[in-house]
């Protein structure tokens, strides 16, 4: 069985559970029995037809997930039966079985929690890239981010801590302050004028070269104000649905670099070896308990309508996971 949609629209309305047949494997193909798959905002946008890439209908959603190899083609050399794997590309994970060429999969340690592994490709990968692609950071450096309670934000906090980098984290709910501080956030404040003032005092005369924006609007302005001269503001989301406005003074006097990041674009260009190496680093952090991704609820695939509805609700404690 697999979840499929034949037209774009509200996920609750257009998704359906359908039977399908798995054809014979080609020589470099692998058959994976999927175990778990999270529901990400990009998955919902893909179903709605509002994502950066339109689906080729009918389509199976699912940007990431985790499964075990149960069949291999004659020429497969990198994987064996029972290997724990994740797809390196968004190839439709909301399905009991998935066929992919071996170079589209990454093998993980067999004792890694498959639920955590299912969430490894999107948010931790994005967080890793945000911390490595735009500025050369070293232990003792400091960065700032809004949307700190998002999946990316929480991964940024943990990866930055692992790398010896301090984080300033803006949130929109007071109850998140203690939670993200316990996770390793060096400063967690409300995303408002008072929080901004506290953040400025925390930075003092130190250089702040990188700020990560997942909100937009006034929140992004506060990040730009914190940045040092020649710093970079990297936008990877727009939760406020408000456009990014850049004051002239930040361009003229601070020479800020305004960049965007979309994981799909990086995936198109990155080599298989590069992606594998990063996944292994993140998996090692998971095994050591240094990277733990929050889960709100695990729901059977048969209850997919409940799953997609809950994934769009406010106040969740983490991801909604589909148990395939």
What is the spatial distance between Cα 171 and Cα 219, in angstroms, rounded to a whole number? 10
Token code pair at residue 205: 């005369």
What is the spatial distance between Cα 263 and Cα 119, in angstroms, rounded to a whole number? 14
51 an active-site residue? yes
DSSP state letter for 143? E
96 near 302, Cβ under 8 Å? no
169 near 188, Cβ under 8 Å? yes
Q: 299-318: b or e for each residue (b if 16 or more CB lie within 10 Å)? A: bebeebeebbeebeeeeeeb
66 near 84, Cβ under 8 Å? yes
Catalytic residue among 36, 51, 236, 261: 51
Which has the closest alpha carbon to 131: 273, 271, 282? 282
Longest dimension (CA), the chain: 63
- Give me Rg for the CA atoms of the chain: 20
What is the spatial distance between Cα 90 and Cα 278, in angstroms, rounded to a whole number? 17
User: Which residue numbers are catalytic?
Assistant: 51
């Amino acid at each position: 069985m697999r979840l499929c949609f034949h037209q774009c629209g509200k996920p609750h309305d257009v998704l359906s559970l359908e039977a399908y047949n798995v054809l014979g494997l080609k020589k470099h193909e692998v058959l994976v029995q999927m175990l778990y798959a999270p529901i990400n905002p990009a998955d919902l946008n893909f179903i709605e037809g509002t994502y950066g890439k339109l689906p080729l209908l009918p389509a199976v959603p699912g940007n990431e997930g985790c499964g075990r190899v149960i069949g291999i083609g004659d020429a497969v050399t990198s994987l064996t039966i029972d290997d724990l794997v994740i797809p390196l590309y968004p190839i439709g994970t909301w399905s009991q079985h998935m066929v992919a060429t071996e170079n589209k999969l990454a093998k993980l340690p067999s004792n890694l929690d498959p639920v955590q592994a299912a969430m490894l490709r999107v948010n931790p990968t994005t967080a890793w890239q945000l911390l490595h692609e735009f500025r050369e950071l070293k232990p003792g450096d400091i960065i700032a981010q809004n949307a700190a309670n998002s999946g990316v934000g929480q991964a940024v906090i943990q990866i930055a801590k692992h790398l010896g980098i301090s984080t300033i984290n803006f949130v929109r709910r007071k109850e998140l302050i203690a939670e993200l501080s316990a996770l390793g956030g060096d400063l967690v404040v409300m995303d408002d004028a008072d929080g901004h003032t506290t953040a400025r005092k925390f930075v003092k005369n130190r250089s702040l070269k990188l700020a990560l924006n997942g909100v937009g609007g006034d929140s992004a302005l506060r990040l730009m104000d914190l940045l040092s001269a020649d710093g970079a503001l990297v936008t990877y989301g727009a939760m406020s649905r408000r456009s990014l406005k850049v004051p002239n003074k930040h361009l003229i006097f601070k020479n800020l670099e305004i960049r965007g990041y979309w994981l799909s674009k990086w995936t198109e260009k990155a080599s298989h070896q590069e992606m594998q190496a990063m996944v292994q680093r993140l998996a090692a952090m998971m095994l050591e308990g240094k990277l733990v991704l929050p889960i709100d609820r695990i729901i059977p695939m048969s209850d997919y309508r409940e799953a997609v509805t809950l994934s769009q609700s406010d106040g969740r404690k983490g991801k909604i996971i589909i148990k395939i």
